[in-house]
Amino acid sequence: MTDVVMPKMGESITEGTILEWKKQVGDSIAKDETLLEISTDKVDSEIPSPATGTIVEIIAQVNDTIPVGDVIARIGEVGEGPATDEASVKTAATEETVADEPEPVPAIEVVVQSEIVSEKPIIQSGKRFYSPLVKSIAKKEGITQTELDALVGTGNNGRVNKKDILAYLKTGMAGAPTLKEDVIEKSRSIVPTMSDKIEPMSRMRKKIADHMVQSLQTSAHVYTVVEADVTNMVTIRTENKESFKSKSGVNLTYTPMLLDACIRAIQEFPLMNASLDGDNIVHHRNINMGVAVALPDDNLIVPVIHSSEEKNFLGLARSVSDLSGRARENKLTPEEIFGSTFTITNPGVFGGLFGMGIINQPNVGILSVGSFQKRPVVKETEYGDTIVVRHMVYLTLSYDHRIIDGAYGTKFLARLVEIIEQYNNDKIKN
């Protein structure tokens, strides 16, 4: 008998969601044949079978979110029949565990209980994983999905454990210290009307939402904005885009220029390439640049150029073109969206004057690039000040104040501006 476990798809991935089983109980399968499709925080992936045989048991169902390493199915020998006893034994064990709890669970004597219990109890959230014991208690006590999702878990990765749910039951909704009471109140504040359009969030949208909230709750965000003269970059692109495309087969865009400049600035300010691990600062050897890419459905994904400091300009240009193209076609591998150490996002391509990005965890900084715009600016000359028309851009650095102070972040930006304004043709030829 071979156990099929939820695979680990990256260092920061702790769980995955079952999207589709390609095989059912009783079906034969060969080793490395696609068994199921899962979704993680970063990407959807097809998972191959670890062995040849017959599917004898499927434990995790579609839309279940399962921790990495947990058994989700079992494969027996070729021709072996489906398992019939294990599931029932497992269920009986769970019920026995609940029945053997040493402390009785008191009823909730709160006036608003009758209103809440009228909702249909649910034992599995699409956003959070709940253990069989927690789900069993929730079902037995009539705890609704709203209540369950509102509990603040004290377990690993914020999961709700037995202690949390029993504390909630003992104290009651009105006084429970672990309950976000405002969540329930807000859930009742918006009542859809017949004229409202209700559209469920996509999986990717849910993931983006969760990541953004988690980042704001983790990092102490600080923002600094500077202005840079990008006239040299505009001139370089205008003069070289045709020849660059004919020689390399890649379009000459501003993105690799900005990446090149940012990499050079990070090399002089290496703390911008660090991350926090508890109370330890991790100084990364390589600069893995994340580049935010807008998808056709208006969602966002961040492919990563690993060891970007080792690439010349043409290498950066080809990486940007390749990763962004495959990102829009949903053809990125899990490795290509993990491990960023710094991120660049460009709301300017959609006309944004400047942006204030949310840090891509576990990075300590993200650079937002605004739109290139012609503006009159004052330039100092040997004959005095003069007003000239230049291509200008606003650059916004969002950084984690836990380890990056304002002076360091501002000095980094000032150096980046110098590199950008001194950019020349020699850079694109290297």
Question: Hunting for tokens 């920061």 — which residue is that?
Answer: 12
Q: Is 45 part of any domain?
A: yes
Q: Is 91 part of any domain?
A: no
Of 155, 190, 225, the domain-final residue: 190
Per-residue pLDDT of the chain (430 residues; tens, 9 = 90+): 889 998 877 666 778 888 889 989 888 899 888 999 888 766 678 888 898 989 989 999 988 888 888 999 999 887 776 665 444 444 444 444 444 444 544 444 433 333 333 344 444 445 567 777 778 788 888 887 777 777 777 776 677 887 788 878 776 543 444 444 555 455 455 667 778 888 888 877 888 888 899 999 999 999 999 999 999 999 999 999 999 999 999 999 999 999 999 999 999 999 999 999 989 999 999 999 999 999 888 888 999 999 999 999 999 999 999 999 999 988 888 889 889 999 999 999 999 999 999 999 999 999 999 999 999 999 888 889 999 999 999 999 999 999 999 999 999 999 999 999 999 888 777 6
Residues 329 and 234 in one domain: yes
Do residues 419 and 261 make contact, with C-beta atoms less than 8 angstroms apart?
A: yes
pLDDT at 8: 79
Q: Which two tokens stand for residue 195?
A: 């004229």
Residues 292 and 335 in one domain: yes
C-alpha dist (Å) from residue 44 to 36, 298, 345, 356: 11, 17, 22, 28
Please list, in sequence order, all residues whose beta carbon lies within 8 angstroms of the beta carbon of residue 254, skipping any fewer than 6 positions away: 230, 233, 237, 372
Q: Is 237 part of any domain?
A: yes
pLDDT at 304: 96
Quote helix, strand, coil % in the chain, to nearest 5. 35, 25, 40
Which three-class secondary structure state does DSSP give residue 178? coil
Residues 272 and 226 in one domain: yes
Q: Is 140 part of any domain?
A: yes
Residues 246 and 343 in one domain: yes
Reference 235, options 395, 414, 420; nearest CA is 420
Question: Is beta strand 365-369 parallel, antiparallel or unpaired with respect to 384-400?
Answer: antiparallel
Residues 73 and 209 in one domain: no
Of 144, 165, 190, the domain-final residue: 190
Q: Is 100 part of any domain?
A: no
What is the spatial distance between Cα 1 and Cα 53, in angstroms, rounded to a whole number?
A: 9
Question: Is beta strand 34-39 parallel, antiparallel or unpaired with respect to 28-29?
Answer: unpaired
Q: Is 99 part of any domain?
A: no
Which three-class secondary structure state does DSSP give residue 169? helix
pLDDT at 122: 42
Q: Which two tokens stand for residue 238?
A: 């205008």
Residues 30 and 171 in one domain: no
Residues 139 and 47 in one domain: no
As for how many domains the chain has, the answer is: 3
Do residues 20 and 63 make contact, with C-beta atoms less than 8 angstroms apart?
A: no
What range does the domain containing 41 cover? 2-84
The vertex-69 CA angle with 209 and 9, nearest 5°, equals: 50
What is the spatial distance between Cα 415 and Cα 424, in angstroms, rounded to a whole number?
A: 16
Residues 335 and 415 in one domain: yes
Reference 357, options 304, 2, 348, 17; nearest CA is 348
| R_g of the chain, CA atoms, integer Å | 27
Residues 140 and 223 in one domain: no
CATH number at residue 276: 3.30.559.10
Residues 124 and 179 in one domain: yes
CATH number at residue 8: 2.40.50.100
Q: How many residues does the chain have?
A: 430
What is the set of active-site residues?
401, 405
pLDDT at 171: 66
Question: Hunting for tokens 């030829």 — which residue is that?
Answer: 429
What is the spatial distance between Cα 200 and Cα 77, in angstroms, rounded to a whole number?
A: 41
Do residues 359 and 341 make contact, with C-beta atoms less than 8 angstroms apart?
A: no
Q: Is 199 part of any domain?
A: no
Q: Is 98 part of any domain?
A: no
Residues 346 and 209 in one domain: yes
Residues 143 and 282 in one domain: no
Of 69, 84, 99, the domain-final residue: 84
Q: pTM of the prediction?
A: 0.62
What is the spatial distance between Cα 419 and Cα 203, in angstroms, rounded to a whole number?
A: 40
